[in-house]
Structure 1
Amino acid sequence: MKKDIEIPQVKDVYVAAIKEFNEEFRSDEWNVYLINDSSKDLEMVLIVARGYDKKRETSVMRHKIEKLPSKSFAKIEFIQDEVLSLNNEFRVSYFTNSKMFDKKFTFSKNSIRETALDQVPLIPKKGVLAK
């Protein structure tokens, strides 16, 4: 029966960490974005975020985006410097054309750093893409 279940593959959807200057606090900070580089809207997007390693674990954060239009992006959350030394996981689930998609995006520990900055889809800033 499991062989009859179709699990569609997530394509052209990314999670990226972008280093940005916060005018209010006058400092640089890392923000995590969900990027929809596909030609279809994402509906009822649910994101579950957590940081972990063998000894420590952060609180689980849950986010919801009603609709993320095609070729757009949305800020998910600010990520504190203290959790950059942990694995940071973002489980993203959404609907497109009445089909549910699900993918786990992970930033391995210490992968979010300035030396790893590269071009990311759609956002006119450099960042780090989750795997």
Structure 2
Amino acid sequence: MIKDLPQNVVKDIAIAVALESENAERKVWYVYLINLKNIPLETVLITSKGYGEKDGEQVKTSVLRHAFPTIPANSFKLIEPIDEQTFGLTNEYWLSYYIGKEIFDKKFIFLPESIIDDNFIKLPVVNKPGVMIL
């Protein structure tokens, strides 16, 4: 039964959008997975997509899939670059990983217009400015 399934809660894992660089013409943004645990993550799978309304029309981005064999303890991994034009959409990242034989998964959602300067922090481990969801 469903009550017999383990309650594997995702803790100390974050998805972050970081400002990588900027000049007068444009800003460069990357999305990172941050492992704040003292143990590695194994068989990491991430899907990403954007969706919402832009200029009065429904918009969907392509679904991208990423796989990483291992993410070491207290480290980060570059997932993908992200275009600033998608910040007005909902950006969703679905993460699955193993620790030993146990599987964990969590959906991280950046709401429209949440990736703004007012929400910036110094991202742990990555040491860049950005927005993070734990």
TM-score (norm 2): 0.90
Higher mean C-alpha displacement, 117-126 vs 59-68: 117-126
The aligned residue for residue 19 of structure 1 is 19
Deviation at residue 119 of structure 1 after TM alignment = 2.3
Aligned CA RMSD, in angstroms, stands at 1.7
CA distance in structure 2 between the aligned counterparts of 1:42 and 1:109, rounded to whole angstroms: 29
How far has the Cα of 1:130 moved from its partner? 2.7
Aligned ranges 1:20-39 → 2 under 5 Å:
20-21=20-21, 27-39=26-38
2:49 matches 1:50? yes
Equivalent residue runs for 1:118-129 within 5 Å: 118-129=121-132
Q: Structure 1 vs Structure 2: percent identity of aligned residues?
A: 38
- CA shift, 1:122, in A, is 1.3
**Does 2:89 match 1:67?**
no
Per-residue Cα deviation, 1:13-42 (whole angstroms, up to 9, x for no partner): 00000001179xx84211100000001100
Aligned with residue 94 of structure 1, among 86, 97, 107: 97
Residue-by-residue CA offset, 1:84-128 (whole Å, 9 max, x unaligned): 100000000000021000000011011112222112221211210
Q: Which runs of 4+ in 1 moved over 2 A?
A: none
CA distance in 1, matches of 2:107, 2:124: 18
| Equivalent AA in structure 2 for residue 11 of structure 1 | K
Q: Within 1, Cα distance between the matches of 2:34 and 2:27?
A: 21
Aligned counterpart, 1:4: 4
SS of residue paired to 1:84: helix
For 1:104, the equivalent position in structure 2 comes to 107
Where structure 2 has 5 or more consecutive residues not aligned to the other structure, the ranges are none
User: How far apart are the structure 1 equivalents of 2:21 and 2:12?
Assistant: 27
- Paired residue type of 1:98: K
| Counterpart in the other structure of 1:84 | 87
Matched residue pairs, number?
129
